[in-house]
């Protein structure tokens, strides 16, 4: 079982779309997936078609009230994918956990009870607060989505420093799986220039797959569906399926 945080403190970079659609893509490939929604906006939860108002327990209850892991996880209608959902209550967790002993390891301790999954993906909030810190401490690796726009690399150095601090003090084995280029538009020189700059700077740490700017990817969450189920033939669906295969192959090569 591999635990991967999908993180970037910049908002609007395709982080939640990547988390939902990568999970669905790997589920279609026969993998057992758990998506943990650590963002109080709970977009991954609704993006998988889960009705937030009907939840009996969420990741908030697990982190703050120490409700058992198994009682918070629910299956989705998508092949191989379960979710540990979020609600707006999670917004208060940053404050409520400040005075708690070992507050950075609450998620890691809860995941000690997770069994039967091939991959666990954590959708982190667009910040470097306690929720993201918990996610990084609990993870084996991190994937960083970067949008192909002007401010793409802004703040990346701060995230890199946070990763190094986590490695130094809390999780020495945290690895960088790679950077994923999102919202790529082949028609614009800006997208091509940003992609070239990111690949030049990070080289083999950039995934080969790029995620295009595609209206169908944007529409899918409003229907509570991953892109692969919303529009199988779309460019976005093809791209995320390719990304899922790339992630799977990369992990299998490491295990070999």
- Bridge partners of 180, per DSSP, are 145
For residues 209-222, give the mean pLDDT: 95
The pLDDT of residue 143? 97
What predicted TM-score, i.e. pTM, was given to this entire model? Answer: 0.95
Q: Is the pLDDT of residue 107 over 80?
A: yes
- What CATH class is the domain 2-255? alpha beta
Query: Closest Cα partner for 36 from 128, 110, 93?
Result: 110
Contact between residue 240 and residue 28 where contact means Cβ atoms under 8 Å apart: no
For the segment 2-45, what is each residue's pLDDT rounded down to a tens digit? 999 999 988 889 999 999 999 999 999 999 999 999 999 999 99
Q: Is the pLDDT of residue 186 over 90?
A: no
Q: How confident is the model at residue 100 (pLDDT cuts 50, 70, 90)?
A: confident
For residues 159-188, give the mean pLDDT: 92
Query: Closest Cα partner for 38 from 55, 15, 14?
Result: 15
For the segment 137-147, what is each residue's pLDDT rounded down to a tens digit? 999 999 999 99
Q: What is the full DSSP assignment across 170-218? A: T-TT-EEEEEEEEEE-TT-HHHHHHHHHHHHHHGGGEEEEEEE--HHHH
Contacts of 129 by beta carbon, 8 Å cutoff, 6+ apart: 94
Phi, then psi, of 22 in degrees rounded to 5 = -65, -40
For the segment 149-166, what is each residue's pLDDT rounded down to a tens digit? 888 877 788 888 889 999
Domain chopping of the chain, boundaries = 2-255
**Least trusted range by pLDDT, from 191-200, 202-211, 216-225:** 191-200
The pLDDT of residue 140? 97
Q: How confident is the model at residue 256 (pLDDT cuts 50, 70, 90)?
A: low
The pLDDT of residue 53? 81
**Neighbouring C-beta atoms of residue 117, cutoff 10 Å:** 18
Task: State the residue for tokens 């899918």.
Answer: 220
Q: Is the pLDDT of residue 219 over 70?
A: yes
């Amino acid at each position: 079982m591999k635990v991967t945080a999908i993180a970037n403190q910049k908002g609007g970079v395709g982080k939640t779309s990547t988390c939902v659609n990568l999970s669905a893509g790997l589920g279609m490939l026969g993998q057992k997936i758990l998506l943990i929604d650590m963002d109080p906006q709970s977009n991954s939860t609704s993006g998988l078609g889960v009705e937030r108002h009907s939840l009996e327990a969420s990741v908030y209850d697990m982190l703050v009230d120490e409700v058992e892991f198994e009682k918070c996880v629910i299956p989705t209608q998508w092949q191989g994918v379960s979710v540990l959902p979020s609600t707006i209550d999670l917004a208060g967790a940053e404050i409520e956990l400040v005075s708690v002993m070992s507050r950075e390891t609450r998620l890691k301790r809860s995941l000690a009870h997770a069994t039967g999954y091939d991959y666990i993906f954590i959708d982190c909030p667009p910040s470097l607060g306690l929720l993201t810190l918990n996610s990084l401490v609990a993870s084996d690796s991190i994937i960083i989505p970067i949008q192909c726009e002007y401010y793409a690399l802004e703040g990346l150095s701060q995230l890199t420093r946070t990763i190094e601090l986590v490695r130094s003090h809390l999780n020495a084995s945290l690895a960088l799986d790679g950077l994923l280029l999102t919202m790529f538009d082949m028609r614009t020189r800006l997208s091509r220039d940003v992609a070239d700059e990111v690949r030049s700077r990070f080289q083999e740490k950039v995934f080969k797959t790029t995620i295009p700017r595609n209206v169908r990817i944007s529409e899918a969450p409003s229907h509570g569906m991953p892109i692969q189920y919303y529009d199988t033939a779309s460019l976005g669906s093809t791209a995320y399926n390719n990304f899922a295969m790339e992630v799977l192959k990369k992990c299998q090569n490491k295990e070999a």
